[in-house]
Structure 1
Amino acid sequence: MTSRISLFTLFLCTVVLLGGCSQKFQRGVKDFQSKWVGLERRVTVYSSSGEPVRTYQGRIDIEPTEYGNKIKFAHDGKMVLIYNMGVLVEEVEKE
């Protein structure tokens, strides 16, 4: 009886650990895909009053910056820099 409980506990711990690793692995794959290929994304830029100013859509690679007030990404072969604006980045299904 004790060995069955131990075996079940070991199995349960393994499933929980692998489940957590699986999501971490999937995030790693997405990060790699984003960095080297770009993801199909929609980037919407908002004014300070909350109105949409501009929307970019396509295979977009967003480059992280050290500042919270700047976003930098490539769109259609051109570099886009946005300072001090509200930005929403969504991954979209390829049309």
Structure 2
Amino acid sequence: MRKKIFVGVTIVGIIFGIGGCQSWERNMKSLSSDISGGLNRTVTVYDYNGQVIRQYAGKFDVSESENEVYFDIDGKRVIIHGGIVINEEN
């Protein structure tokens, strides 16, 4: 019986201990984003001279691969090849 209580208390302690970690907060934010359809964010695309090419704002998820950044906004898929992409979560 004591062993079960010790294990239970240890598990609860670990869960609460992890709760204050930045990685835990990032994981919770990602889960919230997945459930609610994205986060409020602003994506700005710059050319290689630092000039703004385009800016997108709204509630959406951003994904990336080796060659592109992509997201869906206002019912359209946006795929960005090249440039400098800044993704700000609001």
Query: In the alignment, which residue of structure 1 is the partner of 2:54?
Result: 54
Q: Detail structure 1 runs of 4+ shifted over 4 Å in the superposition.
A: none
Deviation, 1:19, is 5.8
SS at match of 1:50: coil
Query: In the alignment, which residue of structure 2 is the partner of 1:80?
Result: 78
SS at match of 1:44: strand
Number of residue pairs matched by the alignment: 75
TM-score calculated relative to the size of structure 1: 0.68
CA distance in 2, matches of 1:32, 1:20: 14
SS at match of 1:48: coil
CA distance in 2, matches of 1:48, 1:23: 32
The structure with the larger Rg is 1
Counterparts of residues 14-25 of structure 1 (less than 5 Å)? 18=17, 22-25=21-24
Query: In the alignment, which residue of structure 2 is the partner of 1:42?
Result: 42
Name the aligned partner's letter for residue 25 of structure 2. Q
Show CA shifts across 1:46-66 (max 9, x none).
01211011100000211232x
TM-score calculated relative to the size of structure 2: 0.71
Q: Over aligned residue pairs, what C-alpha RMSD do you find?
A: 2.1
